[in-house]
Amino acid sequence: MEADYRGRFAPSPTGPLHAGSLVAALASWLDARAHQGQWLVRIEDVDTPRCVPGADHTILEQLAQCGMVPDEPPVWQSQRGALYQQALDSLTTRGLAYPCACTRQDIARALAASGHARERHGELVYPGTCRSGLHGRSARAWRLGTRTDSRITWQDRLLGPQSQDVAQEVGDFVLKRADGLWAYQLAVVVDDAAQGITDIVRGEDLADNTARQILLQRALGLPLPRYLHTPLVLGANGEKLSKQNGAQALDTSEPLVLLRQAGAVLGLHPDTAAATPQDWLRQAVPRWAARLKNRF
C-alpha cells in the first residue's frame, strides 16, 4: 500500500453522470481507498461548446449522494489555461510541437495527392504538411511532432500489455485547436502531473488515448502514472453508453441501487445488507482490492 497514492475522477461536464461515468467514478474512488490514497475530482471543461451549464455542480452533487466526496476541492480546467500554455511553449521552444495552418480540406487534399489517405475514428491522420514550417500561412492549431520512433508500450492494470505506434496510427496530434481551445490530450497530461496523480482509473473508451498521453509526458519530462481502464456500460443497442447517445441521467434518489449496478459492472457484489452508500462503499473496498490482487 502506498501512502502517496493520488487518484482522480475527471468528468467532462457535458451532462449529468450516467451509468457509464458512475462506473469510472466508483472504480477510481475504490482504487484510491484500497491504496489508502487521496481521491480528487477535476472538471474537464476545456471543450466549452460541449459543456452544459450547471452540469459540473450536478455531477459533484450526484457523486456526494453516492457517498463519494473528493479529498481536495475540485479544480476546473477552464481556469488553468496558463499552465497549458506554459507546456505548449516548452514543447514549441524545443522543436517538439509546431504550429499548423491546415484546414480539414487542406489535409484531405494533401492526403489524396499522396495516395496515402488514412483515417482513424473518422479523423484523417495528419500528413505532416506544416512540419517544415507555415510557408507564409497563419497558424491555426498546434501539433505534437511524432517523428521519432513513437511506439509506446504500457501495462494496463486490467487490460494487460498495450502497444501503439503513435506516428503510424495517430499521426501528429493536436495540442491546441484551431478554435483556440486546449485539446484534451495536453490538458489532461499537464493536470495529472500538476496534481501529483499517481494512478489513472477511467473508462475503457479512453484507453486508446494513453499512448499519446505517455508520449506527451515523456516530451514534457513528467512522471508516468499507472493506468487502469474499466469495462464500459453498453446501451440496449450494444453501443457504449454515453451522453452523446442519450444515456439517461442517473436518478440519485436511490444511490444504493446505483452503486450496486455500477459495482456489478466491476465484478463487485458487496453485501446487499448495506444500509447507506457509505456502508456499501466501505464493504466494496476490500472486494476491489481482492479482485485486483497482484495488480496493485
233 binds ligand GLU (CB under 6 A): no
d(CA 110, CA 81): 32
Q: Kindly give the residue spans of alpha helices, DSSP state H, lying in 1-80.
A: 19-34, 55-65
* CB of 150 or CB of 213, closer to ligand GLU: 213
188 binds ligand GLU (CB under 6 A): yes
* CB of 156 or CB of 279, closer to ligand GLU: 156
Strand, helix or coil for residue 196: coil
Kindly list the distances between the CA atom of residue 6 and the CA atoms of 23, 70, 135, 204, 209, in Å, as whole numbers in the listed order.
Answer: 18, 11, 45, 20, 20
Closest approach of ligand GLU to the CB of residue 11, in Å:
5
* CB of 143 or CB of 202, closer to ligand GLU: 202
d(CA 181, CA 130): 20
12 binds ligand GLU (CB under 6 A): yes
* CB of 202 or CB of 226, closer to ligand GLU: 202
Q: Name the pairing type of β-strands 174-176 and 226-230.
A: unpaired
* CB of 107 or CB of 206, closer to ligand GLU: 206
Strand, helix or coil for residue 154: strand
Rg of the Cα atoms in the chain: 20
* CB of 35 or CB of 202, closer to ligand GLU: 202
Binding piece for ligand GLU, criterion CB under 6 A, among 7-15, 31-39, 61-69, 166-174: 7-15
| Contact assessment for residue 38 and residue 5, using Cβ atoms and an 8 Å cutoff | yes
Listing from the earlier edge strand, what are the strands of the sheet with 141-144?
Answer: 97-100, 141-144, 174-176
Among 5, 6, 7, 10, binds ligand GLU (CB under 6 A): 10
Among 18, 26, 44, 255, binds ligand GLU (CB under 6 A): 44
Binding piece for ligand GLU, criterion CB under 6 A, among 5-13, 110-118, 130-138, 273-281: 5-13
202 binds ligand GLU (CB under 6 A): yes
242 binds ligand GLU (CB under 6 A): no
Adjacent-strand bridge partners of 165 = 151
Q: Kindly give the residue spans of alpha helices, DSSP state H, lying in 94-179.
A: 104-114, 166-169
Query: Using CB under 6 A as the criterion, what x/- string covers residues 130-149 for binding ligand GLU?
Result: --------------------
Query: Using CB under 6 A as the criterion, what x/- string covers residues 276-295 for binding ligand GLU?
Result: --------------------
Closest approach of ligand GLU to the CB of residue 126, in Å:
22
Adjacent-strand bridge partners of 153 = 163
199 binds ligand GLU (CB under 6 A): no
Strand, helix or coil for residue 229: strand
d(CA 237, CA 126): 32
| Number of CB atoms found within 10 A of residue 272's CB | 9
74 binds ligand GLU (CB under 6 A): no
The amino acid at residue 3 is: A
* CB of 188 or CB of 250, closer to ligand GLU: 188
* CB of 188 or CB of 265, closer to ligand GLU: 188
Q: Name the site residues for ligand GLU (rule: CB under 6 A).
A: 10-12, 44, 188, 202, 206
